[in-house]
Structure 1
Amino acid sequence: MTKVMTAQEVANIIPNRYPILFIDYVDEITENKIVATKNVTINEQVFNGHFPGNPTFPGVLILESLAQAGSILILTKDEFKGKMAYIGGIDKAKFRQKVTPGDVMKLEFEITKFRGKVGIASATALVDGKKVATAEFTFIVDEAADQTK
């Protein structure tokens, strides 16, 4: 598999860092769709408490992974370089099966509507080609917050 964007290139686009950076690489990216990969490993801090003896990647972190993939897609657009993408809402979230260490999640995020700085996207997380989660995101693009204040 050819990676179109490495983890380091991802870190140059979105502000997330360890332990909350979940994109390992980008598989493909087009004008309105991205497919990215999250390798779920037993070494992740979340598994210390969720759940000992039955490690399960939390649904909220699956949604965060999808949102990060979306942020990469949005922030690679010329008009949004140097800005921030924020979650404005999550609708119709469904979790279909659990995600555990050793799973490779493919994260698909597709923009379906975009007006000004607000958009809507459909997102799907897959493991071994099976849907593990789906959701509809509303996102907002705005100026990056000044971290020096």
Structure 2
Amino acid sequence: MMYKDILDHLPYKSTFRFVDRLTYLSEDEVKGEFTLRKDAFFYEDHFPGNPVTPGVILTEIMAQIGLVTLGIYLVVRGQGPSGADANLLYPLLTSTEVSFHKMVLPGDTVYVHSQKQYFRFGKLKCMVVMTDSEGRRIAEGIFSGVIKHVNQPVP
């Protein structure tokens, strides 16, 4: 898997990890994808008989691919806090401003492209766009977050 070293640092368990694959990663941008599993926990009640992916889940996918993986990459490459151990870092989303344009259904694959606006003093700000398999825009927004140190590795 491409960029496995970066994916291994994601602090999420399987049911809340929304990154299947990274297809491109540099110090200025990241591209990745995620396929929404039809049996995901959030479809059972949103909405019974007519499941639709909640906006908060789409936002989380955008944040994990578009902000967290890029932040981890920047820290691992030495652009973050000096002497930072990637296993002791914890990314925190501090703000989002997202516009939604289209629904996402169970089984759909979404594609995320994020471009860094800035990264300084441990704060990362990105413009993130999510599209469907035909390149149609699903959502877009500005995401900001910080990289915090924790005292012990995140399990």
TM exceeding 0.5: yes
- Contact 1:97/1:133 (<8 A) preserved: yes
Root-mean-square deviation (CA), in Å? 1.9
Once residues 25 and 124 of structure 2 are traced to their aligned partners in structure 1, the CA distance between those partners, rounded to angstroms, is: 17
Aligned residues: 143
The answer to whether structure 1 residue 105 and structure 2 residue 110 are counterparts is yes
Aligned equivalent of 2:2: 4
Q: CA deviation at 1:25?
A: 1.0
Cα–Cα, structure 1 residues 13 and 104, in superposed 2: closer, same or farther, change >3 Å?
same
**Deviation for aligned residue 1:4:** 2.1
Cα shift at 1:145: 5.5
Structure 1 position 21, deviation (Å):
0.5
Give the distance between the partners of 1:17 and 1:5, measured in 2 at CA: 18
- What corresponds to 1:120 in structure 2? 125
Tell me the equivalent position of 1:45.
41
| Alignment check: 8 A CA contact 1:85 1:140 kept | yes
Q: Which one-letter code corresponds to 1:44 in the other structure?
A: A
Identity %: 19
Look up the equivalent residue of 1:57 and give its one-letter code.
T
Q: What SS does structure 2 have at the residue aligned with 1:114?
A: strand
Whether the 8 Å CA contact 2:27–2:73 is kept in 1: the answer is no
Residue 68 of structure 2, aligned match among 67, 71, 78: 71
CA distance in 2, matches of 1:103, 1:88: 28
Deviation digits for residues 72-95 of structure 1 (CA, Å, limit 9, x no counterpart) = 11102223423122111112x111
Q: Which letter does structure 2 place at the counterpart of 1:24?
A: D
Which residue identity is paired with 2:131? L
**Cα offset for 1:38?**
0.6
| CA deviation vs aligned residue, 1:78-125 (integer Å, no higher than 9, x gap) | 23423122111112x111010001211001122111221112111111
Aligned to 2:83: none
Q: Deviations over 1:5-26 (max 9, x none)?
A: 35x861x111111211111111
TM-score (norm 2): 0.84
Contact 1:13/1:76 (<8 A) preserved: no
SS at match of 1:89: strand
Q: Is 1:25–2:21 an aligned residue pair?
A: yes
In structure 2, distance between residues paired with 1:120 and 1:113: 5
Q: 2:145 aligns with which of 139, 145, 149?
A: 139
Partner of 2:56: 60
Alignment match, 2:90:
84
Distance 2:51 2:13 in 1: 22
